[in-house]
Amino acid sequence: MTNIWKTNPSGIARAAERLREGGLVAVPTETVYGLAARAADASAVAQIFETKQRPSFNPLIVHCENEGAAETVARFDHCARKLAAKFWPGPLTLVLPRAAEAEVADLVTAGLDTVAVRVPQHPVAQALLGALGEPFVAPSANRSGRISPTTASHVVDEFGPAIPVLDGGPCAEGLESTIVSLVNSRPTLLRPGAVLPRDIEAVLGHPLQAPGGGIEAPGMMTSHYAPAVPLRLNAEAPRAGEQFLGFGALGASDATLSASGDLREAAANLFALLRALDANGKPIAVASIPQEGLGVAINDRLARAAAPRPT
Ligand code: TXA
Ligand code: MG
């Protein structure tokens, strides 16, 4: 049994409906197949990490129908507009400051105040964005640590029949999008990909900075959002002066990741709750989270947040 859907108008409408209901759909782009969820739906985004069996939360790329839609998610400067005008729709991803009103779940950006955006060129990805009427996120549609899929049957090999796949044929580029960060003083190449650096440099009028010198490559993200207040893990109860972040049966005096002990709900709430408690300025004690399924990624994130900070 497979779950390969046609890309005619009824297949696209069905896929958009599935996303609206909080489900996942694999969608072809010009680079590789992506595993899509509504960018605003924290629980669906958590389901992506669960499905990919990712042991950590890497931020995801927000896919938009056009530059106008991308400007509701990210703040564009002159440089960003020049690159968008030249390469969109197409395989270039821009990392930009997140717009204040962006309707993007905190899990998408791993709590960072930057966001990666791109406008895909593939007609099926475009049709799905049009039918949905809002952005979706889409990491490559493979289990963690495996090769990115470039055909619908590759995706079925990864996830079996559980995830419907819109069959747009083989991907033209077969290589992920190039990622350029515009959040530092100089445009930086974070991931080489389908658009060549020299073509980007021709538009910018100067060379791209290579990652390094404190700027980390994607996949090795050390600069995830970390709270300013101390974090204590595997706590059974708060000590004097602490705020308690509960899970399951362990109390919810201040906040709970999931009162029912649901890991998907916990992942969906994680970054927003850390931010909210951080803003209160008091140390945080966190209940222990089972080290299984999404709990592995949640614990990875909590361990980093609790680790001693570089000074
Ligand atoms: O071609 C592509 O970009 C494909 C197709 C499906 O669109 N998608 C893709 O997504 O390659 P993914 O999740 O496999 O890779 C996204 C990369 C990650 O390495 C992540 O670290 C980086 O983008 N990224 C996302 N948001 C970021 C941010 N705010 N700052 C720095 N890097 C970011
Ligand atoms: Mg990938």
> Could you give the CA distance from residue 116 to residue 48 in angstroms, rounded to a whole number?
17
The helix (run of H) or strand (run of E) holding residue 300 is: helix 295-306
Task: Determine which residue's CA is closest to atom 29 belonging to ligand 1.
Answer: 115
The average pLDDT across 185-190 equals 92
pTM, to two decimals: 0.90
Q: Which of 176, 181, 224 to mutate to test the pocket of ligand 1 (most atoms within 8 A of CB)?
A: 176
| Range from 32-46, 154-168, 290-304 carrying the lowest mean pLDDT | 290-304
Q: How far is the CA of 192 from the centre of ligand 2 (A)?
A: 13
Please state, as a whole number, how many other Cβ atoms lie within 10 Å of the Cβ of residue 11. 18
Pocket (CB within 6 angstroms of ligand 1)? 29, 31-32, 34, 58-61, 91, 93, 95, 109, 112, 114-116, 138-140, 176-177, 179, 190, 218-219, 221
CB 256 within 8 A of CB 243: no
pLDDT band (50, 70, 90) for residue 184: confident
Q: How far is the CA of 137 from the centre of ligand 1 (A)?
A: 9
- From residue 286, give the alpha-carbon distance in Å to each of 4, 107, 239, 304: 42, 18, 11, 13
- Per DSSP, the three-state class of 118 is strand
Dump pLDDT digits (tens) for 64-104. 999 999 999 999 999 999 999 999 999 999 999 999 999 99
Task: Determine which residue's CA is closest to atom 6 belonging to ligand 1.
Answer: 34
Token pair listed for 191: 């991931």
Cβ contacts of 205 within 8 Å, gap of 6 or more: none
The average pLDDT across 124-139 equals 98
Q: Which of 45, 54, 58, 73 to mutate to test the pocket of ligand 1 (most atoms within 8 A of CB)?
A: 58
pLDDT band (50, 70, 90) for residue 249: confident
> Could you give the CA distance from residue 3 to residue 25 in angstroms, rounded to a whole number?
10
